[in-house]
Amino acid sequence: MLLGIMDWGIGGLGLLRLLQEQQPELRAVYFSDSGAQPYGKLSRAELRARLTSVTHYLGQRGVTHLAVACNAASTGITGYDPSVLSQPIQTEFGAIEVTGVIAHALQAASVLPASHVGVIGGGRTIRSRIYPRYLQHAGHHITQRIAQPLSQFVEAGDLSSETLKTELRRILRPLAGVDALLLACTHYPALAAPLQEQLPGVRLLDPAAEMSRWIRRTWLTRSELTLSGSSPRILNAQKPPANSITFLTTGDPAGFQRAGSAAFRVNVIAPQHVQLNH
């Protein structure tokens, strides 16, 4: 198998780091689509078209299993159902088994004791009301806040400026008193320290941690796994060398490298710029 991790930007590097900590020999492809318009600003049809291009490209690179570490992309690929943790997507290069971060976030939060849970995320994620819809059934009281600017700070490698802290105070003020804060964007764990500073004692729920555990338990311990019903792999599909991470971006490779190191302490080695056909 070959694992792929995709995000609009660098947020999925947090998931990659968690996986590498437990499996240093991990072989994977990381795909950042920061050269595209932010996924949260695309219409549903535009998002689906873009994600189709991404998955087909990753199939060409030999990816067999894909972790979608972006909430907006997760809604476009796997939908909202937390009972469906993965599903196959057909490409011309074979089937790719796909799992999205939202289902793992809901799994992690639903097992908490009944409490007041704050949720911060991008506009598309918050407006979907996916988290209140599912978590209220588990006895939680949910307060949501759109925290759109935070991912921009993380992408720029800014984790501590006064401008960032001002934005955090504005966003988090209505969440004073929550028992737990669900980070509904994989960029936000990079801001764990300033978040804790603003909400002392709050429990931070990082869905990437739950997603990492599931991937290791379900996919990475079964490296011989084959996908039922998948077509044969194209023999000339591009594959990275064994025991390596291949970093791909549709955006600026140098910026990707700098921000990944600053925000997630991931050594983004030799990132390659790619151009999708669609």
Domains and CATH numbers, the chain: 3-103+209-273 (3.40.50.1860), 104-206 (3.40.50.1860)
* pLDDT of the residue at 87: 86
Write the CB contacts of 255 (distance below 8 Å, at least 6 apart in sequence): 34
Q: Predicted confidence band at 233 (pLDDT cuts at 50, 70, 90)?
A: very low
pTM of the model: 0.89
Specify whether the CB–CB gap between 70 and 183 falls below 8 A: no
Contact 110, 85 (CB under 8 A): no
**Cα angle at 63 between 73 and 1, to 5 degrees?**
125
The per-residue pLDDT for range 86-115, each reduced to its tens digit, is: 888 888 888 999 999 999 998 888 888 878
**Number of C-beta neighbours around residue 214 at 10 A:** 19
- 273 forms bridges with which residues in the sheet? 249
Residue type, 56: H
Q: What are phi and psi of 203, to 5 degrees?
A: -85, 120
90 forms beta bridges with 95
Q: What pLDDT is recorded for position 82?
A: 67
pLDDT at 2 over 50: yes
- Split at pLDDT 50, 70, 90, the class of 227 is very low
Average model confidence (pLDDT) across the chain: 88
pLDDT at 234: 35
* Percent of the chain's residues with pLDDT above 90: 66
Q: Which helix (H) or strand (E) holds 141?
A: strand 141-146
Average pLDDT over residues 123-148: 90
Backbone φ and ψ for 146, nearest 5 degrees, come out as -75, 130
With beta carbons less than 8 A apart as the criterion, state whether 50 and 36 touch: yes
The three-class DSSP label of residue 258 is: helix
Distance CA 173, CA 187 (A): 20
